């Protein structure tokens, strides 16, 4: 297992759509392990494969935030069904450091996905878990959370975003 470099806003890989996974291979098991290490080393609660430069439709979630007994979860080929309700809440992103803004998301969702064991599952969730899944799924579709904030706020952040895209710290 290894900590990988997180791609930062402006990196073109963050705008690419992820490729669906037909089968979970040993290489994808290794990627999942690396993503968990990377997520935890950077104090994240979720991470998508394209954030570490991989094109696969995979996200990891740190389920210990919801129950200390739960291991990290791998979700392949995520599809959201039955979104309900709207909730505005603050988000941040490991690929957009030092920027936090309110984003509107569905409060309740059902998620279809393939597990690390290659099995199809459905998960119903709400609140923070729902928000994290939607945030990571956006990444897998080439969308970064700042794309979803109000235009005037995005305008206010434009100089910070340009600095990030150039590889400069925004602090």
- What residues are labeled active site? 136
Whether 132 and 139 have beta carbons less than 8 Å apart is answered as no
For residue 160, give the DSSP letter.
H
Q: In this structure, are residues 11 and 144 in contact, taking their beta carbons and an 8 Å threshold?
A: no
Residue whose tokens read 């059902």: 110
* Cβ atoms of residues 19 and 12 within 8 Å: no
SS3 49: helix
What is the Cα–Cα distance from 114 to 92, expressed in whole angstroms? 26
């Amino acid at each position: 297992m290894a900590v990988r470099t997180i791609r930062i806003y402006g990196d073109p890989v963050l705008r690419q759509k992820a490729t669906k996974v037909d089968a979970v291979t040993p290489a994808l098991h290794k990627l999942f392990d690396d993503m968990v290490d990377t997520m935890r080393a950077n104090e994240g609660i979720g991470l998508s494969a394209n954030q570490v430069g991989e094109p696969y439709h995979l996200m990891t979630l740190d389920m210990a935030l919801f129950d200390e007994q739960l291991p990290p979860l791998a979700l392949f080929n995520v599809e959201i069904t039955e979104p309900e309700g709207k909730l505005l809440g603050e988000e941040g992103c490991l690929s957009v450091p030092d920027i936090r803004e309110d984003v509107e998301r569905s409060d309740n969702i059902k998620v279809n996905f393939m597990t690390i064991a290659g099995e199809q599952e459905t998960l119903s969730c709400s609140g923070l878990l729902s928000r994290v899944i939607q945030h990571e799924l956006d990444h897998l579709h080439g969308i970064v959370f700042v794309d979803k904030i109000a235009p005037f706020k995005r305008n206010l952040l434009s100089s910070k975003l340009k600095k990030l895209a150039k590889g400069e710290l925004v602090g």
